[in-house]
Chain A
Amino acid sequence: MTTTAPANPTSTSPARSDTLLDFSDVEMKFPNGTVALHGVDLTVNRGEFVTVVGPSGCGKSTLLRIASGLERASQGTAAVKTDRIGYVFQDATLLPWRTVEANVELLAELNGRSASERTVKAQEAIDLVGLSGFEKNLPKELSGGMKMRASLARSLTLDPELFLFDEPFGALDEITRERLNDELLRLFVEKQFAGLFITHSVSEAVYLSTRVIVMSGRPGTIVDTFDVPFPMPRSPEIRFEAEFGKLVGEVSHALREGHH
């Protein structure tokens, strides 16, 4: 099946709808012959939060790696119209010898920002993710959820316009994950970035996104797209609404259909 047309704005997208990511007919064939992606068309606009679900190994990470510039598509065009990209990995990838504060400052430091600017930016981001008071702690003293918060804060210092998330909460327990989902939604509403999020959890996908994309197994193609009608900001309570449950059911069904 096909994807969204940019002309079809989602219910929550704000007045400005500039396209930040525009993939058309993207194919990824690795040197060893593995075809990870095939004919992928995808756009993500500012104010959109797009989530990708799909079976393991279908090329979701590859999609993000192409978007971030870590990998080059072997065919098609993969346009990203900003250089302010945030990328949150599945592991927090904190540097164990740096304190939370120094870890959060890292990206600004690598971008050659001045020390005073870094400090301000880092403190702002740390407050935003709720890690105030842990500035001087080392990563080994943090829980998994706190590490993930630090990793989020690190990306936030760059004021990303396009935010890529590769299963960031996959390793966390349910309660921590739901709490971080709420924090992430709050950040999204506040910062209005364009989000591209990967997850294995269908309910997480529906809860976070303005649009859910379902991919099939290898070679990964987009088999279905669901617009999520719930307005932002969302309350955790919507998880218990019939409408929500119905959409989760439909996405799960599409996921199972595309599986073989």
Chain B
Amino acid sequence: MRALLSGNEAIARGAYEYGVQVATGYPGTPSSEILENIARYPEIYAEWSVNEKVAMDAAIGAAYAGRRALVTMKQVGMNVASDSFFYAVYTGVKGGLLIVTADDPGMYSSQNEQDNRHYARFAKMPMVEPADSQEAKDMVGLGLELSEAWDTPVLLRTVMRISHSGSPVELGQRPPRDNSPVALERNPHKLVSTCLWARDRHPVVEDRLQRLAEYACTVSVNRIEWGDRRLGIVTSGPVYHYAHEVWPDASYLKLGLPYPLPTALIRRFADGVERLLVLEELDPFLEEQIKALGISCQGKALFPLTGELTPAVLVESAAAAGLIAAPPPLPPPLPLPGRSPVFCPGCPHRSTFYLLNRMKNVVVAGDIGCYNLGALPPFDATDTMGSMGASIGVAHGFDVANISDPFVAVIGDSTFFHAGIAPLLNIVHNGGKSTVVILDNHTTAMTGHQDHPGTAVRLGGAPATRVDIADVVQACGVHDVHRVNAFEIKAVRRALKDALAFDGPSVVLVEGPCFFVGPGPAGAYEVDPAACVACGVCFRLGCPAIVRSDEVYPANGKPQAFIDPVLCVGCDMCAQVCGPGAIHPVDEPVSGVEQ
């Protein structure tokens, strides 16, 4: 049977068909749907771990126990997990261990564009790289087999355009797996990475890598497709397909197992073509290694280092280099306003950023989550944002640097559990006085509403012990804790002011469910045109449901507000900020007016 699967669905299907028993991960676009789809197979134990390092260690433990294990994360998640997969390369595994990294060339939803192929080389583990959904599924099987045969974790690197594009996949069955208890095979010399013993493992790693490079010349996913010998293209991942749009007749060396590099195969290919191009997204990972073999080729001199290498980019670069004729130019685009993402109607984060926008002197060390939209208009509130959990450490840096303006850290609940607890402890331990605003919307919203330790359910829907953030914060030694309802703007304002005034570490816990995990919409609100004075304050809430009306308030000639009843979910925030009280639920009399 054939089905149209996204790359992420195909990886999940591969986990099922190739007998994965334990799957872990931490959400992050473009990887999140892998584990969500795995969780649909009851045969596989699946969990959202608290962060990527924990997910990695758990998968390693499962593999030590002889289970086939898979761990998924977005590209920057590998930075968090790196301390752990480096040791696993030395210790080796028993059951197959597949590490899935979803990179994001083009930075559609990431803070950087790092090329995680380097991690394969850095940690010295083999890597497979699919070019479409069928390969994504197949390479889960290949990766697990390699992992067991060579006693090493294997990296599967996908990119956004594989993870989130769909193509047909042939479906197969899952082999029977024994889930009954297993005894851990004890082998401290191998599994305890003390320097005394790990020293013996390093030569094993180097030897393995050399033999793998020979094997990589024979494996079918590394293959030469001879065509027109005047142009040879070495490539991997989705660029293989992009290149076919531009050079359908060229010769190709397609690398499905690009690390360790199949050097003999590359030499044979290079000898068989007149001109050699290396086409790869982001860094010259293959190109530099190929050049180091003494083989002359061209890559980044002609094609960009940044962004996706889409067919359009290939055409533009190839035409500029005189490799192909330039296509006729497109008609120019119309001059149009952009459209950035915004806080949804009913979003609990809106009150905090509406207030921080008004508290102009407050410096905001931001963090990653939906709330980084607080950096955009109409809020323009956030001053820094780097990596998950960074807000609290950066704020502490402002504190010890003695910056003159008041400052806060702002962090979401999932991010707090992921990487916020250690820096909070650090503030307490070192006598810091930062104010930390924790936006608890009871979910990991940005990446698609995954569970975390503060939610009452876990992946798959089973109940979970809900950890209360206020308890955690108190246990860390913060005693000035202000717990407020996100939908009461006045209360949030008071809490922010009080916490900032406190001479010591303080936390404002702003609670309110993300609209998508909350009780659902209340009735829509409307603006009374007779009462609206077109002051524009409600527009500062940046709510997509509040738009400019066609009507103008005569006294100032400005457009009045209008609430789109299809979009409004009745959160009440606009009614709270409206000075003249012109906003009220539909069908409810305006306060003070008899009807």
A binds B: no
Where the two chains meet, the residues of B that have a C-beta atom closer than 8 Å to any C-beta of A are: none
